[in-house]
């Protein structure tokens, strides 16, 4: 069995530090027993180093592995999948501490640590996470340097400085590979095991769901417009359309999942913009009506939403062109209109009776819609995140009893009444508004901007969007949720430390917007640099881009960078200009083969004495050069490089060039 000393103390120290830094980004999704496992293994490893404990035996190691597998299965419900795989990887990274016998074992642990660092990007690829990952990488490099047992490896901070220097030296090559290497699908685009939508919006909705989203300040996406940003009241970001109603919840119809191209006509001025969307674990994208995009594997669905062929599991950059004034399905298909009239067979009798009365009073569709909107505006309806509970007949209770609710209450109630009056209508769920960032020139949309509105169909006109919430709380649409809830004081009440609650503090708000701008640039320029963006950039530089151009760029650029780095490290232009010192270095090189190199602090005379003992036949020539060098260098004799060269040439002729090397000290 190898001794603990086979792995240097400094390397083990940095490896333990690296494990702490590597595990930290995973704390939010790791089971607690992993922390206990690390603490136990780290203490055991330190005791092995102190010669107070031995290495675990085969049975104990097998028991630890089995216990770890059982723990992962119990905490994750499976040994297969991304979450379980990451936990197993971290557990292996920890357990490997106990069987490190040799430097080769330590190398395996260090390389495994780099994989664990990479796995953190599966859960968080933000700028802060990327900056933090430099710390564990530096610690792992320091552990790698510590394995070499060099002079610097015995000094902890010198080892860390060298590791940081190596990381900085690799930066130019990393940038070259980032720009020119073909953009493959990154590791962190793999789907997570959690099927719950990160964005919060789901394919069904009850009023309480939207209200719950509005208590969160999490970022959903950022939108950058090519020209002037439209007014806030025009920013209705469609996510999905809800057509089915069961008396309590609105949900998507199965027909909406079919990739059938909807009928619409482009009219008016187009809006062009780009969106950086946060991971949502859902396939739909966000855009203003009516939207088109060239993003691959994405198409416009039958209800005018944009949808990818797979869920969005990482930050996604895409370009959109929207026509807000477009005419949508002006003729209308029988099946679409039939689905937009679906209601439960019974329930909410008062709402149905009111719809029938409205139909008698206002036979024209537009008149009836305006009557409903005026009713919301005229009657004492209220906007609140704390609505009273509704009974079995939820629409009746809201319209005729509580009259207090959130956007989903108003959108759902109006859609119900329009359908009961024979007007095809549906609920649209998405986000409304957003906060404009003056520094970045983009609009950031957060969870509390979640919103629901109504679309109704009118013959000859097509689908028309209306927002009943505007009739009750116009400040919600024009100014935002915070202003709409100013009297209620319920804006982000569950997040007292969120900087979004203190936007009235100028300096704090500037810091928040500045940091958000950095994150936006990171996601747009770095995470968004994928195949299409790379191709567009390289075509601007080279015109024609193919495999040969990429290969030549990589090889040529890499060679140039390595050459420049070598020049910077070795600095040949800073060679020894002192002729006496340069000749003495040649003297050292001649004798090093036979007498060994000159030791640190060893003077010219002492080195000459040691060399003369190893080479007695050449002792006179050795002493002659050393004496002349000392006289010229230190005794004030006239400097004569020619005399030193003559002594050096005589020594070179007398040395036995085929002699053997001296034994290693």
Active site residues: 407, 451, 467
The three-class DSSP label of residue 388 is: coil
- Cβ atoms of 643 and 628 within 8 Å: the answer is yes
Helices (H), 185-302: 207-213
- Cβ atoms of 64 and 97 within 8 Å: the answer is no
Rounded Cα–Cα distance for residues 130 and 132 (Å): 5
Rounded Cα–Cα distance for residues 206 and 244 (Å): 12
- Evaluated on CA atoms 168, 169, 170, 174, the torsion sign reads positive
The CA-CA-CA angle for residues 497, 452, 237, to 5°, reads: 80
DSSP string, 571-636: -GGG----HHHHHHHHHHHHHHHHH-PPPTT--HHHHHHHHHHH-GGGHHHHHHHHHHHHHHHHS-
- Cβ atoms of 387 and 405 within 8 Å: the answer is yes
Token duo for residue 233: 């009241």
Rounded Cα–Cα distance for residues 301 and 259 (Å): 5
Rounded Cα–Cα distance for residues 253 and 339 (Å): 8
The DSSP letter of residue 132 is H
Phi/psi at 448 (5° precision) = -70, -5
The DSSP letter of residue 527 is I
Q: Which residues contact 541 (CB under 8 A, 6 or more apart)?
A: none
- Cβ atoms of 14 and 142 within 8 Å: the answer is yes
* Count of residues making up the chain: 665
């Amino acid at each position: 069995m190898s001794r603990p000393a086979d792995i240097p103390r400094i390397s083990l120290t940095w490896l333990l530090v690296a494990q702490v830094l590597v595990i930290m980004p995973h704390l939010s999704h790791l089971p607690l027993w992993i922390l206990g496992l690390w603490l136990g293994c780290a203490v055991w490893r330190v005791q092995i180093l102190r010669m107070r404990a031995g290495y675990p035996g085969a049975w104990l190691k097998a028991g630890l592995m089995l216990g770890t597998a059982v723990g992962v299965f119990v905490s994750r419900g499976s040994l297969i999948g991304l979450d379980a795989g990451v936990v197993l990887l971290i557990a292996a990274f920890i357990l490997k501490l106990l069987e490190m016998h040799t430097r080769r074992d330590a190398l395996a642990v260090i390389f495994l640590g780099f994989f664990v660092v990479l796995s953190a990007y599966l859960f968080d690829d933000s700028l802060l996470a990327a900056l933090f990952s430099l710390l564990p990488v530096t610690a792992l490099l320091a552990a790698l340097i510590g394995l070499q047992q060099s002079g610097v490896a015995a000094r902890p901070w010198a080892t860390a400085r060298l590791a940081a220097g190596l990381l900085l030296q690799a930066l130019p090559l990393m940038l070259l590979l980032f720009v020119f290497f073909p953009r493959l699908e990154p590791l962190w685009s793999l789907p997570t095991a959690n099927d719950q939508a990160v964005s919060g919006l789901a394919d069904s909705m009850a009023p309480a769901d939207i209200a719950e989203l509005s208590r969160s300040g999490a970022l959903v996406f950022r939108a950058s417009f090519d020209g002037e940003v439209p007014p806030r009241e025009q920013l209705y970001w469609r996510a999905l359309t809800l057509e089915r109603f069961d008396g309590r919840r609105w949900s998507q119809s199965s027909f909406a999942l079919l990739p059938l191209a909807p009928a619409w006509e482009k009219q008016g001025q187009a809006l062009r913009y780009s969106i950086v969307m946060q991971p949502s674990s859902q396939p739909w994208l966000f855009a203003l009506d009516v939207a088109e995009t060239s993003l691959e594997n994405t198409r416009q669905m039958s209800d005018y939403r944009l949808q990818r062929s797979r869920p969005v599991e990482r930050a996604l950059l895409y370009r959109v062109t929207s026509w807000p004034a477009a005419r949508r399905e002006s003729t209308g298909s029988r099946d679409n209109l039939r689905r937009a009239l679906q209601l439960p067979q019974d329930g909410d009798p008062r709402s149905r009776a009111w719809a029938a009365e409205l139909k008698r009073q206002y036979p024209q569709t537009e008149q009836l819609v305006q009557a409903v909107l005026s009713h919301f505006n005229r009657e004492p309806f209220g906007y609140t995140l704390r609505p009273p509970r509704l009974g079995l007949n939820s629409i009746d209770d809201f319209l005729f009893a509580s009259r207090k609710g959130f956007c989903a209450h108003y959108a759902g109630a109006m859609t119900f009444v329009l359908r009961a009056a024979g007007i095809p209508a549906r609920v649209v769920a998405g986000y409304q508004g957003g906060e404009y960032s003056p520094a970045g020139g983009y609009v950031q949309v957060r969870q509390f901007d979640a919103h629901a509105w109504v679309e109704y169909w009118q013959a000859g006109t097509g689908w028309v969007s209306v927002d009943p919430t505007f009739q009750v709380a116009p400040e919600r649409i024009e100014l935002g949720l915070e202003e709409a809830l100013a009297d209620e004081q319920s804006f982000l009440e569950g997040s007292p430390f969120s900087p979004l609650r203190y936007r009235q503090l100028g300096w704090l708000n500037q810091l928040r917007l500045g940091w958000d701008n950095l994150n936006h640039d990171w996601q747009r320029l770095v995470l968004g640099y994928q195949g299409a963006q790379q191709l567009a950039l390289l075509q601007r530089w080279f015109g024609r881009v193919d495999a040969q151009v990429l290969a030549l760029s990589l090889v040529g650029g890499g060679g140039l960078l390595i050459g420049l780095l070598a020049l910077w490290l070795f600095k040949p232009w800073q060679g020894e200009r002192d002729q006496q010192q340069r000749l003495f270095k040649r003297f050292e090189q001649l004798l090093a083969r036979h007498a060994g190199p000159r030791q640190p602090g060893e003077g010219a005379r002492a080195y000459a004495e040691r060399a003369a003992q190893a080479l007695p036949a050449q002792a006179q020539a050795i002493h002659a050069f050393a004496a002349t060098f000392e006289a010229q260098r230190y005794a004030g004799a006239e400097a004569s490089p020619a005399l030193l060269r003559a002594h050096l040439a005589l020594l070179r002729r007398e040395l036995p060039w085929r002699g053997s090397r001296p034994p290693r000290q």
